[in-house]
Amino acid sequence: MQEVPSTAPHESRKRGAQPGHIPEHTTGRKRACWGILTSQGSWADHSPLHEAASQGRLLTLRTLLAQGYNASVHTINHVTPLHEACLSGHVACVRALIKAGANVNAATIDGITPLYNCCCSGSAGCMELLLQNGAQTHTAQTHFPSALHEACKRGHSQCVELLMCHGADPDYDVSHLGSPLYMSCLHQQIACSQILLHTGASVNSGRAGDSPLHAAVRQDSADQASLLLEYGADVNLKDSNNQRPLELATSGGKTQQLLLVYEGSPRSLCQSCRLQIRKLIGRSRFKQLPLLPLPPLLTNYLQHT
C-alpha cells in the first residue's frame, strides 16, 4: 500500500483493533460482497480515506485529499476508497474521488471493480459518474465478477439500463453464470429481463444446455415465462437432462398452463413478423429505429413497446 502523508492522522490505522468504529450495516454489505477476505478482518489496513468514503463523510474526505492522500490508495487486497464509496452509495464522495484522480477501473485481487459495487448497492447515481468517466462495462478477464450479472441477480434495473445505454453486451456470457438474461430469470427479476430483451438479448441464450425459459419454469414464474415467449423463446429446447420446459413445469401450476396453451396454438402472424424483422434489423441498430421515417405505431411495434 502506498505511504500516506506524515501529517495524516494515524489512529485509524488500527481499525482492526477497534471494530466498534465500523457501522454494522456497512461491514455486513462488505462481507457479502467480498467474502472471506473481509470476514477475516481486512479492514485493519484501510486508510482514513477508505473510512471517510465508506461512511459518506465528504468534508473529511476532501480534507484528507487536500492533505495529500492519494485518491487511489489501496489495501493489501487492492480495495480503494472508490470501492468503498460505491458499495455504500455515496455519490458526492464518488464525485470527489474521481475529481482527485481515482482509478474508476481499479480491481481488487478478486476482480471486484467500483462498477460492480454499484451493482451490489444499486446506486445508479454512482454508476452514472463512473461510466461518464471511463468505467468499462466489462473487464478483459472473463473470470472476473460481472457487474451486469450482479445487477440482474439483485434486480437493480436502473443499473442494468445504464449499462445497456453505455454499450454493455446483453449476451455477455460468464461460464459458471450463463447469460445476464438467464441470471435475471433464475432470480425472478422480470424488470431486468424486460430491459435485456428490449435491447436485443438472445432469448434462448442461457447456461450450458439450460435456456432462460428453463430457469423461469423451474421457478414457476408465469410472468417471466410469458415475457420470454413474447420475445420468441423456443419451447422445444432441451436442457442437459434432455427435458423441455413443459416437462419441468409444476403440475397444475400457472406456468404449466401457460405452456400448454402456447403449445396448443401457433404464434400469431403479428408476433412472428415482429421477431423476424427485429432479427433482420440486428441488435446494434435498435437505437436507430426512432430515426426512421415510420409512423409511431410501427416504431412502437418494432421496438416491442
Compute mean pLDDT per 10 residues along the chain, 305 residues long, and list them: 40 34 46 38 76 97 96 94 97 98 95 96 97 92 87 97 96 93 97 96 94 96 96 94 95 93 86 88 84 88 81
d(CA 280, CA 285): 10
DSSP three-state, residue 6: coil
pLDDT of residue 46: 87
pLDDT at residue 233, rounded to an integer: 95
Report the top-level CATH class of 170-265.
mainly alpha
- Predicted model pTM: 0.82
Q: Do domains 1-134 and 170-265 have the same CATH topology?
A: yes
Helix, coil or strand: residue 207: strand
Note whether 88 and 117 are within 8 A (CB): no
**pLDDT at residue number 288:** 84
Q: Within 13 Å of residue 105, how many CA atoms lie on the same side as its CB?
A: 12
Three-state SS at 174: strand
Q: Are 189 and 196 in contact (CB under 8 A)?
A: no
Domain assignments of the chain as residue spans, ordered by start = 1-134, 170-265, 271-305
Could you give the CA distance from residue 204 to residue 212 in angstroms, rounded to a whole number? 6
pLDDT in the model for residue 282 = 85
Is CATH 1.25.40.20 what the domain over 1-134 is classified as, yes or no?
Answer: yes
